[in-house]
Amino acid sequence: MIEVKNLTVAFGEKTILENISTKFIKNKITVVAGQSGTGKSVLMKTIERMMSPSSGKVLIDGIDIFSLSNKDLKKIRMKISMLFQSSALLDSLNVFQNVALPIFEHTNKNENEILKIVKEKLELVGLKDILEKMPSELSGGMRKRVALARAIALEPECIIYDEPTTGLDPLIALEIVKLISKMQKHLNITSIVITHDLDCIDKIAENVVMLNNGKICFDGFYKDFKNSENSFIKKFLFQYRYL
């Protein structure tokens, strides 16, 4: 469904992604791994057309998103949700308003219908009776859940999670990992999970795309990634396991 073809992204003289190509397989969980600063978030933002490549394409269901008008882009964006590294809840809005925001923006549903959807999505991520709470009153794990409820509000076909477990304590991180798996199974969602959390990778990855120095150094099944003899991958697995 999402395909990246010969994609190059540069900032001035600095090339971040160099001629990379991959496909994110439908209804599977693909982990995008790589060391800090290697271009994982840049890749995600380019897929959402928040950044432009210097060359190459991002195809969604075969359509090049950089050739679309803003109106058509909006439709495509409804199919792909993002969970940002920082959760990105709006601090001045309460939980209901945060989750309802994309529904107000993209549909003509009335307030009762929206309330029903918001409650349903919050329940799906394990939250109840917090509609009136402000983001500042929530723990880090709860903020992630609210952000996830917002990400699934429009019933997307794909969710891109940017570092969903970073900064959370291990038990809460595990809950989030379980939720990612639940979203994929329950809602049949294609998931792209950007992370260097090895526990997270181990629990959910079906496929792995690994970036190094602007290029893809691995693209395949997780079981092959885990047993890879490639020295860079072995070093990555060792470093993040033991440092």
Ligand X SMILES: Nc1ncnc2c1ncn2[C@@H]1O[C@H](COP(=O)(O)OP(=O)(O)OP(=O)(O)O)[C@@H](O)[C@H]1O
The residue (of 45 and 121) whose beta carbon lies closer to Mg ion is 45
Instruction: Decide which of Mg ion, ligand X, none touches 38; Cβ closer than 5 to 8 Å per partner kind.
Output: ligand X
Give the number of other CB atoms < 10 A from CB of residue 192.
23
Each residue 42-81 as x (binds ligand X by CB under 6 A) or -, in order, gives x---------------------------------------
Instruction: Decide which of ligand X, Mg ion, none touches 34; Cβ closer than 5 to 8 Å per partner kind.
Output: ligand X
Shortest separation between residue 33's beta carbon and Mg ion, angstroms? 11
Do 130 and 82 meet the contact criterion of CB atoms below 8 Å apart? Answer: no
Confirm or reject binding of residue 195 to Mg ion (CB under 5 A). no
Each residue 42-81 as x (binds Mg ion by CB under 5 A) or -, in order, gives ----------------------------------------
Q: How far is CA 133 from CA 39, 110, 137, 138, 139, in A?
A: 35, 22, 6, 8, 11
Half-sphere exposure of 117 (CA within 13 A, CB side): 21
Instruction: Decide which of Mg ion, ligand X, none touches 11; Cβ closer than 5 to 8 Å per partner kind.
Output: ligand X
Name the token pair of 181. Answer: 């798996």
Under DSSP, the state recorded for 234 is: H
Confirm or reject binding of residue 36 to ligand X (CB under 6 A). yes
Do 191 and 29 meet the contact criterion of CB atoms below 8 Å apart? Answer: yes
Each residue 9-48 as x (binds Mg ion by CB under 5 A) or -, in order, gives --------------------------------x-------
Do 47 and 58 meet the contact criterion of CB atoms below 8 Å apart? Answer: yes
Residue numbers of the site for Mg ion (CB under 5 A)?
A: 41
Residue numbers of the site for ligand X (CB under 6 A)?
A: 11, 16, 34, 36-42
